[in-house]
Structure formats: structure tokens, C-alpha cells
Structure 1
Amino acid sequence: MFIGFGTVVNVATVILGAGIGMALGHRLPQRTRDTVTDSLGLVTLLIGALTAMDVTSTALSDRVGSSAPILIVLGSLLIGGIVGSLVDLERRLEDLGAWLRRMLVRRDGGTSAHPEGTDEGPDTGAAHLSARERFIEGFVSASLLFCIGPLTILGSLSDGLGNGADQLVLKAVLDGFAAIAFAASLGIGVMASALVVGVVQGSLTLVGFLLGDFLPEPHLMALTGTGGLMLLGVGMRLLNIRQIPVGNLLPALVVAPILVEIVSRVQG
């Protein structure tokens, strides 16, 4: 598989899912959606565990010592989590999505299909929207859903770093089923959001590719190992075990390579 394969698959599943949703509407039973989500949650746990094993790589232990890698990951999650929770990064990401959605829909002169403060599905009020408003609503809502989240960042970076597209393929399946539900009521605008998915994830994949050329292997192992633990948090969320605020942990991806450099310099 080539770098960027995960984004290509994700774009394809959004288009396919939107097409199915426009054709079938709400005929897919909720129990089927729940079963798919549970299955993906279990596989996410597996991939997260395998990715987290990068912390045991010989390149990392040779650089910082055999006892330091676990402590580096722990320190990364603690420091990154504290920073992320102090600024409430997860909520800010959600607020950013909500703000963009309001601004874009309002600028077009339409109104949101989801009133502020509700948790209703994408079909709430959709029947009362004009064709143009439905397109804008579907495009904006689906774009934000597919692009603002920890799995988007983790999966794209991992793909760019050359660690494979497994994480983005998982996300692609999730997005495909979400696209079915959205497109059933909001139509072709959901399909158009595939363009945003391609641009956002393609850009993040490029960042990962550049990081792979810039960061030494031990630093990358610490970064991916830390990301693997965060994937376990995503899996727990999918399984409704615990709603871990993984977004608040995202700064740990920056902290991990820094700690490797600090420890290696102290020991050197």
C-alpha cells in the first residue's frame, strides 16, 4: 500500500456510503449499525495495542535505556493530558466544529437543521430545508463529523509516517456508515464532504511524511507508541466502556519526541 492509501479509501467510503444512504434511506436497522460499531471498536483496541508495542522497540531502548520508554510514554500522556485538559482541547475542537457549522450555514442565509443544544440525529428538521439549505447542511455537518476527531489526526499521521493505513481504514468504515445515515436525510451534500476529507487527511498525511524524514527512529517509536495508547481510548469510546476525552491527550504526540530528546541528552 502507498502512503495516502487510507485517505483514498476514506474518500471512497464516504462517497459510497452517501450513495447508499440516498438510495436506501433509513432502512438499515439500528442493531446492525451498533454491531458494526462494536466490531470496529474491538478491532481499534487490537490495532491500538499493536501500535503501542512500538514503545518496546530496540531503537528506542538503545537511545534512552531499557527502563525509560514506558516512563516516557507515561510522562507524555500526563504532561500532554494536563495541557490538553487545562485548555479543554476536546471541547474546543467540538466548539470549533459547531462554530464553523453555524457560520457557514448562516452565511448562506439558511438555518441549522439541529437546534443548538440538542443531540438529535441528522434528519432533525431536514424536511423543512430547501434543496440549497439541505446541501449546505449536509456538506458542513458531514465534513466536520469526518474531519474533527482524534482518529483523523492519529490515522493520517500514522499513514504518513509509513506505519500503514489500518487506522484510517477503520475510520473509513465508520465514516461510511455515518454517511449512510446523514445522506438519507441530507442528500448529496454529504457526498460532497468527501472533498474536505481528502484535503484535510491528505494534508495531515503529508505532515506525517515530513515528520518521518525529520524525526529519528527512536523519537518516532515514542510518538507512535503514545498514539497507540490513545487509540485504545478511541476503542473504549466506540464500545461505550468509557468516554475518554482523547482529544485532550493529543498534545502528548508532541511531548513524546521531546522527552526522548531530553532523556537521551541527559544520559549522553
Structure 2
Amino acid sequence: MLGTIYNVIAIIVGALLGVILRKGIPEGHKKTIMQGIGLSVMVIGLSGALKTENILLMVFSIVIGGVIGEALCIEKRLDGVGDWLESKVGQRGGSVAKAFVTTSLIYCVGAMAIVGALESGLTGNHQTLYAKSLIDGVSSIIFASTLGIGVIFSAVPVFLYQGFIATTAGLIEPLLTNAVINEMSAIGGLLIVGIAFNILEIKKIHVGNLLPAIFIPIFYAILQPYMVQISSVVQNLF
């Protein structure tokens, strides 16, 4: 958990600095900066998504993950938490709900969040999360300077998400092959592209409802040894 704790502290400190800087940035500059951030986020997402070695698994994961996410109403619940935070902070803090949801997703679905948390849990190596902490700290300054205080609350889901992966990694270690981790990271990259669409206001993508897709490759790895048998049974039935 040490790497995750560093990550959380970096986000909080960066967000506080961003809020202080926010007052001195004209509104026109904030809009342009957010557009630049959106383009950068899209490039980051594409670079990760294109690393997939099994495009059919990616599509399958997105479909199944979307069905699960819609059933669980993940996006609605995230928005609800954001709205609740906004009611407590008030409009003076900017669009708290938007800042909270956007940055929570960005900090959680990236490859470094997944791989770094797994490394922390399996080997005690926190270097990836240390690097992520630096990146998230700097980006939280930028996000908070444009979106407001809501960014600071994204530290909570980061702690819960990465902490959960780190503490449970040992239980699923046999399934975490390089191929599985690669596909999980690639799907995370694709979701980051969706976040970029939201930031750029091109199209509203319910990224929160697609979050379960990241973990579908694990279940695919469990079922893969039985795929031939299942296929044989299906062929015999028809």
C-alpha cells in the first residue's frame, strides 16, 4: 500500500496547489488548457489501447463490461457522489462533480494504476506507483487549476481502487500472465480515449459503466482452458 499512499498524497498536494493557481488563470485560458489536456489524454489512451494483442478479447470485454456496468449503474453512482460533494463544497469550488468523476477515472483506469498496484501487491516493488504519483501530482495541479477543488476528492477512489488491486493481487497471481496484464492495460487505454472524448465534449461516453471491462481478461484466462471443450459441446448440439 505504500505506493498507493504516496499516490494519494501527490494528488491531494497537487490539487491544493492547482486551486491556489486557479484564481490567476483567465477563463479563456482555462478552456484552451482543457482542450489541450483532452488531446493529450487521447494520445495517452490510444498509445495504450493499440498495444492489445487480442482485439476480439478487447471488444468482448468492452461489451460484457458495459452490460455489467449498466446493471450496476456505476456511472450514475459516481455522478451521485460528485453531486453530493458539490452540494457540500458549493459552486465556489467549480464543477466539483465533473472534476471528481473525470479525474477519478483518469487516475484509476490507466495502465500504470493496474500494473503498479499489481507490482506493489505481488513483489513489494512500488517504483511504478512512485512514477505515477509524480505524473498524477503534476496533472492534478493542471486539472485543479481549470476544474477546481473537486480534483482533490479523486484521491479517495484511487486509494480504494489501487489498494484493492494491491491487497488481492496475491490471490489471483497465477492468472496474471503478461498477456492478461497487457490486455487489461490496453482496455484501460481505450477507456482513457473515452475520457478524452468527454473532456473535449465530442460525445458523452459512459466510461464509468465500462470499468468492469478491465477485469474481463482475468475471467477469460480462467475459462480459456475449457474453451475447446465448450466449443466441442456446442458443435455436437448443432
Same fold, TM-score > 0.5, yes or no: yes
Instruction: Compare 212-221 and 10-19 and name the one that shifted more.
Output: 212-221
Map 1:218-237; keep pairs closer than 5 Å: 218-237=179-198
**Which of 1, 26, 50 pairs up with 1:29?**
26
**Which of 122, 140, 143 pairs up with 1:175?**
140
Q: 1:158 to 1:32 in 2, by over 3 A?
A: farther
Q: 1:49 to 1:113 in 2, by over 3 A?
A: closer
* Separation in structure 2 between the aligned mates of residue 15 and residue 264 of structure 1, nearest angstrom: 49
Matched, 1:150 2:105: yes
SS at match of 1:241: coil
Q: 1:158 to 1:234 in 2, by over 3 A?
A: farther
Q: Which amino acid aligns with 2:75?
A: E
* Separation in structure 1 between the aligned mates of residue 109 and residue 94 of structure 2, nearest angstrom: 30
SS at match of 1:240: coil
**Which of 142, 163, 166 pairs up with 1:206?**
163
> Could you tell me whether the CA contact under 8 Å between 1:76 and 1:252 is conserved in 2?
yes
Structure 1 equivalent of residue 61 of structure 2: 76
Structure 2 equivalent of residue 11 of structure 1: 12
* Separation in structure 2 between the aligned mates of residue 35 and residue 266 of structure 1, nearest angstrom: 50
Map 1:186-265; keep pairs closer than 5 Å: 190=149, 194=152, 197-198=154-155, 200-210=157-167, 213=170, 214=173, 215-265=176-226
Larger radius of gyration: 1
Map 1:49-68; keep pairs closer than 5 Å: 49-56=46-53
Instruction: Compare 243-252 and 151-160 and name the one that shifted more.
Output: 151-160
Q: CA deviation at 1:259?
A: 1.9
* Separation in structure 2 between the aligned mates of residue 84 and residue 45 of structure 1, nearest angstrom: 22
* Separation in structure 2 between the aligned mates of residue 263 and residue 237 of structure 1, nearest angstrom: 35
RMSD of Structure 2 on Structure 1 (CA): 3.7
> Could you tell me whether the CA contact under 8 Å between 2:34 and 2:146 is conserved in 1?
no
- 5+ long unaligned stretches in structure 1: 57-68, 106-111, 115-120, 125-140, 184-189
SS at match of 1:208: helix
Give per-residue Cα distances to partners, 1:35-74, cap 9 Å, x unaligned.
2212222221222122123422xxxxxxxxxxxx211111
* Separation in structure 2 between the aligned mates of residue 93 and residue 146 of structure 1, nearest angstrom: 6
> Could you tell me whether the CA contact under 8 Å between 1:143 and 1:197 is conserved in 2?
no
Structure 2 equivalent of residue 128 of structure 1: none
> Could you tell me whether the CA contact under 8 Å between 2:117 and 2:165 is conserved in 1?
yes
Q: 1:208 to 1:80 in 2, by over 3 A?
A: same
Q: 1:33 to 1:199 in 2, by over 3 A?
A: same
Q: Which amino acid aligns with 2:81?
A: L
* Separation in structure 1 between the aligned mates of residue 25 and residue 84 of structure 2, nearest angstrom: 31
Instruction: Compare 257-266 and 230-239 and name the one that shifted more.
Output: 257-266
* Separation in structure 1 between the aligned mates of residue 147 and residue 196 of structure 2, nearest angstrom: 23
- 5+ long unaligned stretches in structure 2: 120-126, 230-238
Instruction: Compare 258-267 and 246-255 and name the one that shifted more.
Output: 258-267
**Which of 38, 41, 44 pairs up with 1:44?**
41
Aligned pairs, how many? Answer: 213
Flag the structure with higher helix content.
2
Matched, 1:95 2:95: no
What TM-score do you get using the length of structure 2 for normalisation? Answer: 0.70
> Could you tell me whether the CA contact under 8 Å between 1:45 and 1:232 is conserved in 2?
yes
* Separation in structure 2 between the aligned mates of residue 267 and residue 43 of structure 1, nearest angstrom: 42
Q: CA deviation at 1:16?
A: 1.3
Q: CA deviation at 1:201?
A: 2.1
